Amino acid sequence: MYHHKHEAFNQTLDDLFHEVDRILEEKWGQWFPLHPNRPKQGATYNPEIDGLFEIAPDFTLGINSEKGRGYIISVRVATLEKVPPEQFEVFMSEAAALIQERLPRYFPGRSLEVVRDGPRYKIIGDFSLGIV
């Protein structure tokens, strides 16, 4: 069961990630051939399921993590070609930087930040919903 403030928070987070997805698609979308089963960018209502990238938040409780709970910034590249690790790192770091830059606009008044947590980037900070 979800509360309306939780739903609103998740929708705002999705909107932020969709904006970042579109930016990365514009910059890098032609660098690798799209997986044959993947629709072209803009072919669906959801940028997570079309185009070269899927940029999505995945909540973690942060067990065994230095940074604790938060939203892992998941970056997936929909191609059959091997993406070199250094290029994948560029994709991840650009996504993290874009998200960090936009967090204050999407979540004004909240203390949220993007940090490196092991091999991934994560959003940590104030996820409170206030009085529910």
User: Using one digit for the tens of pLDDT, what is the confidence trace for 21-61?
Assistant: 999 988 987 888 777 777 577 666 666 766 778 889 999 89
Looking from the CA of 128 toward its CB, the CA atoms found within 13 Å total 6
Looking from the CA of 75 toward its CB, the CA atoms found within 13 Å total 24
What global pTM score does this model have? 0.87
User: Would you state the pLDDT for residue 50?
Assistant: 60
CA distance 83 to 78: 10
Is pLDDT above 90 for 112?
yes
